[in-house]
Amino acid sequence: MLNREEILKKYSWLQSDEELYLVMGDDLDSAISTLLFLSKNPKATLIGIYSGYKKIFFNKNVDLEILKNAVYIDLDIYMKPEKSLGHHIVRINKENRIDGFDNSCNINELIGYSLTYNFTHKYPLSTAHFLIWLYEINNYNTQDAETIIWLADSSFINGQKHRFANNVENWLHNIMPNKLLQSTFTKISTLEFEEKVFALQQEMEKNSFNKGQGQIKSFHKKLTGYQCQLADTNNSDYVTNYILKILRFVYTKLKCKITKNQIDIDNLTCISGERKTLKISDIKTNLDDFLLQNNVFSFVFPYKDTINYTILDKKLSEKIN
């Protein structure tokens, strides 16, 4: 079982009275997680978006030193002193040092899971689920809250009665038990719950949120996930308006306590990077040297044989790091 007190002590920025600056991902889970984080950290401010693992959009008035010390939500950022909260597998084996994650909280790292150890039992839910457990949230503020939380990262599909269900149940009952999440887990395989998800997805479609492509389908209505990721990252005004629209929509479902001045993503500028994919067998050195030599800003292992990683322009990366 994860230890809440130890996590909050080691990563004190997860619940802090100090000023914090956030950069969020560009999907539904990121939006939910950001609002949950802001509600528990009243001095935190959202200043940027990391989109498609290729571009960091941030307020033009923000000094790069602030970006350097930002908290990245629903992301796994490798370079210190950035802090991040994510849940992808980021380690091949226990011999990897992965020093760049020293300041970051990764859910699979908390329990020691890697490509070579318990990969099939890796974290199967969203960052939002972890925050609900971490912050000991025991009630939903609206009827739609549980639906949208379980839609994040297709969590309701992962937890239905197929090959991932036992893993989801293990995480919810043995690793990070929470009565609120456990109560919804008993509903997600029902037709009634899927009808609620379908209604929510129709509402999201009317708002012109981007659905994306789902890999697995739900039990009854054959629904897929709804990612809401940005479609156009060439127009900073579009990025601002789209992310604000998602945040407003999610807020109507969660009704968590935040203030307007906690969101400051107007007048955006951008730092661009290059996203690459490589077979692990093609890494000719150890993981730590590979990450250092390639100036990797963020990376994940989406499959057991593949690494996806992002390299920032070296001069810009030096300014940040």
Q: Is the dihedral of CA 168, 173, 179, 185 positive or negative?
A: positive
- For residue 124, the enclosing domain spans 4-137+233-320
CA distance 69 to 176: 28
Task: Return the pLDDT at 32.
Answer: 98
* 22 part of a folded domain: yes
Of 94, 66, 93, the residue nearest 82 (C-alpha): 66
Q: What is the pLDDT of residues 178-188, one digit of tens each?
A: 999 999 999 99
CA distance 117 to 182: 26
Structure tokens belonging to residue 216 = 């697995």
* 286 part of a folded domain: yes
* 73 part of a folded domain: yes
Angle (CA) 92-94-98 rounded to 5° is: 70
Residue-wise DSSP of 42-108: TTEEEEEEEETTTEEEEETTS-HHHHHTPEEET--B-STT-EEEE-S---SSTT---GGGTT-EEHH
Cα within 13 Å of Cα(127), Cβ side: 26
φ/ψ (deg, to 5) at 198: -60, -45
How many of the other CB atoms lie within 10 Å of CB of 51?
A: 22
* 182 part of a folded domain: no
Q: What is the pLDDT of residues 44-60, one digit of tens each?
A: 999 999 999 999 999 99
* 188 part of a folded domain: no
Q: What is the pLDDT of residues 273-319, one digit of tens each?
A: 999 999 999 999 999 999 999 999 999 998 999 999 999 865 455 45
Domains held by the chain: number: 1
Q: What is the pLDDT of residues 206-247, one digit of tens each?
A: 999 999 887 789 999 999 999 999 988 899 999 999 999 999
Percent of the chain with pLDDT over 90: 88
* 190 part of a folded domain: no
* 187 part of a folded domain: no
* 41 part of a folded domain: yes
